[in-house]
Amino acid sequence: MTRIMRHTGTRAALAAGIGCAVLFAGAADAQTPATAPRPPANRLDALPSCYALAKIKQPARVADRAIFVLLDQTTLFDASLRQTIQSAARTNLKPATEFAFGTFSAFLDNRYTDVLLGGRTDVPLLPAERDDTGKSALRVLDQCVGRQLDYAKRLTDAELSKAFGGMSATIARSDVFASLHDFSTHVVAPAKARSKTLLIASDMLENSSLASFYSNRSVRKLDSAVELERVKSAGLIPDLKGVRVYVIGAGLLNTAGAKNVAESYRDPQTMLALQNFWSGYFKAASAELVEFGKPQLLRPVE
């Protein structure tokens, strides 16, 4: 009898390992080198649930948190800023997390606001729910959940790296207002998570038919009240109620072709005016602007 139970347990563990490997192909074990994961069949629902594999009813609870990253492909980020963006995305991927990563620039040359990756990590069972679940099913679930999180982080790294590769300073326009409104309305607002964090990786310099924050190849000193009224009149203030917002990259300029210091220098007053405008914008959107990185963040995204 004992032998049969051990043999059954071994078979269950083996089946769990095979099933998890199939679900999350490309997610390496801790002992193997990191490899690029296979792209998901549905990039907007990138993670299969482990509850189906374990044959356990999935809890109906909403996610604890949501992390959103929106990348401006007109902004060139150095290695340090890229590392901050990827680290923020990875460290905020935990159990019971909704996530979505998008890009934007302007609606020209086949560039537009797009969601690269979206999904949700499984909500863990409560202690009482675990007590009511068979041990073999729990083994399958726990092993799968570990691989699910590893796969999500590897997939995040791969998609963000690909997005960085598509960035260019030669894009003629930058529709920050319209893109942020679309992403917020269609991706951030519908999320059901109890807390939401939005990381915007952008120079935050609008350059569209509505407004331009540039002057003589540098940043224009803004009249915050005037610019905010312009955006409100255009109906481009999104509903971001309760969302915690971080900005990284504010004021970044491509200085490769600058002829003198004046073309590349952003004085403190000009940067403060830019920050004041966006503070007013996010207040109007009912969001909390936690940090405005000029360009680097000085504390972790949470």
For 33-72, the pLDDT digits (tens) are 345 677 788 888 999 999 999 999 999 999 999 999 999 9
Contact 97, 196 (CB under 8 A): no
For 228-239, the pLDDT digits (tens) are 999 999 999 999
- C-alpha of 42 from chain center: 17
For 270-279, the pLDDT digits (tens) are 999 999 999 9
Two tokens, residue 256: 């490769």
Q: From CA 195, how far away is CA 128, in angstroms rounded? A: 24
- Domain boundaries of the chain, sorted by first residue: 2-292
Sign of the C-alpha dihedral computed for residues 124, 126, 129 and 130 taken in this order:
positive
Q: From CA 285, how far away is CA 80, in angstroms rounded? A: 30
Contact 215, 85 (CB under 8 A): no
Confidence of residue 104 (pLDDT cuts 50, 70, 90): very high
Two tokens, residue 26: 């490309």
Average the pLDDT over 18-45 and give the result: 64
Output 219 or 12, whichever has higher pLDDT.
Answer: 219
Could you tell me where the DSSP H helices lie in the chain?
Answer: 2-23, 50-54, 79-91, 127-131, 135-165, 176-183, 224-233, 261-264, 268-284
Average the pLDDT over 6-14 and give the result: 44
Query: Smallest Cα–Cα separation from 207: which of 224, 219, 223, 221?
Result: 219
Q: From CA 67, how far away is CA 146, in angstroms rounded? A: 19
For 190-205, the pLDDT digits (tens) are 999 999 999 999 999 9
State what percent of residues in the chain have pLDDT above 70: 82
For 162-199, the pLDDT digits (tens) are 999 988 877 767 899 999 999 999 999 999 999 999 99
Average the pLDDT over 101-120 and give the result: 83
Q: Is the pLDDT of residue 26 over 70?
A: no
Query: Smallest Cα–Cα separation from 301: which of 147, 84, 128?
Result: 84
Quick count: other Cβ atoms within 10 Å of Cβ 88? 21
Specify the pairing of strand 114-120 against strand 97-104.
antiparallel
DSSP state of 207: B
Angle between the 79-91 and 135-165 helix axes, to the nearest 10 degrees?
A: 160
Identify the residue whose tokens are 């675990």: 130
Across all residues in the chain, what is the average pLDDT? 86
pLDDT the model gives residue 119: 96
